[in-house]
C-alpha cells in the first residue's frame, strides 16, 4: 500500500528531461512500470501512457533525476523515492459535492430507488480523501436513509484513506464546499455537518459511523462486496481501454441487478464491453442502471 509522503523539494525547472520518454525509450518506460509491479505489486502497466509519463517526468524534475536509467535505479533501490512516485501516480484531487448537478440528479433519480431497499450498500471506489463519501453521507441523512446504509469507501493509496478517516478539511475549502452543497439541492445548512476550529472543519461523527474505509486496488484486488450502488468518479479516466473493461467487469459482478453505477463527468460506459448491460439513468450526469 502507498504510505505517507515526506516534504517535496522545489521543482527544478532547468533540467532538460523533455525527451526522457521518446519513442525509442518506450521499452525502458515499460521496464520501469514492470519493476514497480514486480517489486512492489503496484500495477500501472495499463494506465493511460500519457498520464503516467507526465507524472514520472514531473517526479524526475522534482527529484533532480536526469535520465530514465537513474529513475530505474531509484525504483529498484530507494523505497522512500518509490513511495513519493506512487503518490504522484495517484491523482487525489477531489471536493465535497463535486459536480453539484450530479448530486441533484442522485436526489431526483436514484434516491427513490434506494428508498425501496431495506438495507443500502454503496461503494465509493477511488474515494481519495473522502469528500465524496461524506457528501453521500450528508445526502443520505437528509433523505432519511443513512441509518440503513453502509458506505464502503476504498482507495489504493493508504495515505488518503487515513486522511479520509479523519474527516478534517481546511477551512479554506469550506466556502467552495458550501456553494457546491447549495447547488446540489442541500436541504439544511452545510455548517450543520462539521465543527470548526481556527484552521479546520471536522466532519460530524454521525456522518462517519456507517462509513467503512479500506485499502483496495481496482487493478489487482477482487470484488469488494455486493452493493446497490457504485460511485467510481474521476478514476477510470487514468486507465487505458483494456483496464477500464477489466474494472467495469469487476463493478458489474459487484452490483445487484438494477443497481446503480455512477461515473465522473468525463467518463462513460459507451465504448466499453459492458455498455449493453446497463441502461442510462441520467446520461448527462453519467448515471447508469444495471439491467435486470
Which residues would be at the binding site for ligand SAM (CB under 6 A)?
A: 90-94, 98, 126-128, 132, 155-157, 160, 217-219, 233-235, 264
Pick the closer one to ligand SAM by CB: 90 or 180.
90
Pick the closer one to ligand SAM by CB: 218 or 261.
218
CB 189 to ligand SAM: min, Å = 23
Task: For residue 242, give the H/E element and its range.
Answer: helix 241-254
Pick the closer one to ligand SAM by CB: 91 or 212.
91
Could you tell me how far CA 88 lies from the centroid of its own chain? 14
Pick the closer one to ligand SAM by CB: 103 or 278.
103
The grid cell for 1 is 500500500
Pick the closer one to ligand SAM by CB: 4 or 93.
93
Residue 5's nearest CA partner among 84, 91, 101 is 84
Scanning the structure block, which residue is given the C-alpha cell 474521476?
234
Residues 217 and 95: their CA atoms lie apart, in Å, by 21
The grid cell for 16 is 532538460
Q: Contact, 240 vs 246, CB < 8 A?
A: no
Residues 253 and 247: their CA atoms lie apart, in Å, by 10
CB 261 to ligand SAM: min, Å = 13
CB 292 to ligand SAM: min, Å = 27
Residues 175 and 180: their CA atoms lie apart, in Å, by 9
CB 215 to ligand SAM: min, Å = 9
Q: Contact, 86 vs 42, CB < 8 A?
A: yes
CB 93 to ligand SAM: min, Å = 5
Pick the closer one to ligand SAM by CB: 17 or 136.
136
Q: Contact, 227 vs 122, CB < 8 A?
A: yes
CB 120 to ligand SAM: min, Å = 19
Amino acid at each position: 500500500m502507498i504510505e505517507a509522503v515526506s516534504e517535496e523539494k522545489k521543482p527544478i525547472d532547468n533540467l532538460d528531461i523533455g525527451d526522457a520518454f521518446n519513442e525509442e525509450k518506450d521499452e525502458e518506460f515499460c521496464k520501469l512500470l514492470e519493476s514497480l509491479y514486480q517489486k512492489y505489486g503496484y500495477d500501472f502497466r495499463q494506465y493511460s501512457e500519457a498520464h503516467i509519463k507526465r507524472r514520472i517526468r514531473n517526479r524526475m524534475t522534482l527529484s533532480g533525476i536526469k535520465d530514465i536509467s537513474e529513475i530505474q535505479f531509484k525504483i529498484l533501490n530507494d523505497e522512500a523515492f518509490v513511495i513519493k512516485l506512487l503518490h504522484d501516480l495517484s491523482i487525489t484531487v477531489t471536493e465535497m459535492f463535486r459536480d453539484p448537478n450530479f448530486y441533484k440528479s442522485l436526489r431526483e433519480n436514484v434516491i427513490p430507488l434506494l428508498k425501496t431497499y431495506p438495507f443500502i450498500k454503496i461503494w465509493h471506489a477511488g474515494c481519495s480523501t473522502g469528500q465524496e463519501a461524506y457528501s453521500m453521507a450528508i445526502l443520505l441523512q437528509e433523505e432519511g436513509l443513512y441509518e440503513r446504509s453502509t458506505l464502503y469507501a476504498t482507495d489504493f493509496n493508504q495515505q488518503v484513506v487515513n486522511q479520509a478517516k479523519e474527516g478534517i478539511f481546511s477551512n479554506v475549502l469550506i466556502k467552495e464546499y458550501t456553494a457546491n452543497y447549495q447547488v446540489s439541492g442541500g436541504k439544511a445548512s452545510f455548517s450543520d455537518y462539521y465543527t470548526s476550529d481556527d484552521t479546520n472543519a471536522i466532519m460530524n461523527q454521525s456522518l462517519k459511523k456507517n462509513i467503512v474505509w479500506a485499502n483496495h486496488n481496482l487493478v489487482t484486488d477482487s470484488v469488494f462486496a455486493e452493493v446497490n450502488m457504485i460511485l467510481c468518479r474521476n478514476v477510470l479516466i487514468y486507465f487505458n481501454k483494456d483496464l477500464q473493461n477489466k474494472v467495469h467487469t469487476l463493478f458489474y459482478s459487484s452490483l445487484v441487478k438494477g443497481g446503480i453505477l455512477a461515473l465522473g463527468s468525463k467518463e462513460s460506459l459507451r465504448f466499453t464491453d459492458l455498455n449493453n448491460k446497463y441502461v442510462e439513468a441520467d446520461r448527462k450526469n453519467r448515471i447508469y442502471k444495471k439491467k435486470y
